[in-house]
Structure 1
Amino acid sequence: MTIAIGQPIQQKPLNFDEFLACYGGDNRYELIDGEVFDLEPTGQHEEVAAFIIAKICVQIDGIGLPWFVLQRGLLRPSNMDMTAFRPDVAVVDRNELTKELLWSDQSILTLGNSIKFVAEVVSSNWQNDYARKVEDYAVLGIPEYWIADYPRLGGTQHIGKPKQPTLSICTLVNGEYEIQQFRGNQSILSLTFPDLKLTAEQVLRAGR
């Protein structure tokens, strides 16, 4: 089988159970509408995700909330049999885990209420980050979603023309995301973590 980086693996559509049997042990794949996608975890991709995690963990500790950061766990919406997202970063509310029927056995979440924040670091399957996940994460009720596009892969409507490294912060308002874009030395604004003191460039260049 040939795997195209950042593209769906060409094969018959899989349901969640089939995906879990074939790919559940490898955190570089996710399932969207029956198609398996390689998340392309390059070195710089992982640096950006790790930088976001480090800064958010400090905020969680400072606030004292019962939250923790889950990296690349599966989010399988309970109403979608052929989709299982694998966010690069997810902030989970420990108090909600008693409602998660799969959690005690596997790192799988099914309820949007369990998640307070997600971040995706863009790779070549950027359309999923900017379109499908914006829609579905909003439907799930996840309050804040970051799209960290350090390689400038998104369409010009998302990252400007000429294309620039862009951090898009999606904030849930009345069931839909309002999106703000941050670039360069602009200070970011997070409603979930209002005390974050970071610029877009610090996030997109992983603090370099």
Structure 2
Amino acid sequence: MSIATDRPIQQKLLSFDEFLFLFGGNNRYELIDGEVFDLEPTGSHVREASLKEIEVAAFITTKVCVQIDGIGLPCFVLQRALLRPSNMGITAFRPDVAVVDRNELTKELLWSNQSILTLGSSIKFVAEVVSSNWQNDYARKVEDYATLGIPEYWIADYAGLGGTRQIGKPKQPTLSICTLVDGEYEIQQFRGNQTINYSTFPGLKLTAEQVLRAGG
């Protein structure tokens, strides 16, 4: 879920250990370059926005779980799991939805004790539901998730909050599907009743509207 404020919530940069001590038990916070951000939306429509974001993330989770079970993949789904890339300094993301490969967890040194993922190879799919500060979902995370080698990344912008450079003009609800090709994401965008193309779960039969309007 995108960061809900343009400012970090603390005055000094934190190390990962400091972040883990102060905020590790609360999945509403993530760390980007030493700055702690609150993932929960703020403002006059906070309750409505929070509910909508939860419903979109839950809808994606439900559909993906059905695919995993149907295909028999050795995977499971986590919401807001702590992803601390070992090669990205003082950064720890919390993707709204992440599909984790069970077979790769033996390589995760922090998983058994702290349930922290550090390797992109452990994650087959991530999704972020865009909130009031959309920049990280469309820029920073596109670059970093690609660098980690995550095969597929969804950006669910149900309110059309992204910039015109990202979703065009006039702005409208958009589902961006980022597929990893030669180390970089190729991005396809879907709107309305357009049927979505998937690489990780080709059996999914959904339109952009079904995802973006989840929960009504």
Give the TM-score category using the shorter length. Answer: over 0.9
CA distance in 1, matches of 2:174, 2:52: 15
Q: Which residue of 2 aligns with 1:14?
A: 14
8 Å contact kept, 2:83–2:92? yes
Compute the TM-score of the two structures, normalised by the length of structure 1: 0.95
Q: Which residue of 2 aligns with 1:58?
A: 66
8 Å contact kept, 2:128–2:154? yes
The alignment yields a C-alpha RMSD, in angstroms, of 1.2
Offset, 1:5: 3.8
CA distance in 2, matches of 1:13, 1:152: 31
Match of residue 92, structure 1, among 86, 94, 100: 100
Structure 2 counterparts to residues 1-208 of structure 1, below 5 A: 5-7=4-6, 8-40=8-40, 42-206=50-214, 208=216
8 Å contact kept, 1:188–1:197? yes
CA distance in 2, matches of 1:69, 1:145: 14
Offset, 1:158: 1.4
Offset, 1:125: 2.2
- SS of aligned partner of 2:195: coil
Offset, 1:85: 0.4
Q: Which runs of 5+ in 2 are unaligned?
A: 42-49
Q: Which runs of 5+ in 1 are unaligned?
A: none
CA distance in 1, matches of 2:4, 2:181: 34
Offset, 1:103: 0.5
8 Å contact kept, 1:33–1:83? yes
Compute the TM-score of the two structures, normalised by the length of structure 2: 0.92
How many percent identity over aligned positions?
A: 82
8 Å contact kept, 1:6–1:123? no
1:125-178 Cα deviation digits (max 9, x unpaired): 210000000000000000000000012111011122111000000000000000
1:52-89 Cα deviation digits (max 9, x unpaired): 00000000001101000011110000112310000000
Aligned length: 205
1:74-127 Cα deviation digits (max 9, x unpaired): 000011231000000000000000000110112210000000000000012210
Offset, 1:9: 1.6
Bigger relative contact order (CA 8 A; separation at least 6): 2
AA aligned opposite 2:107: K
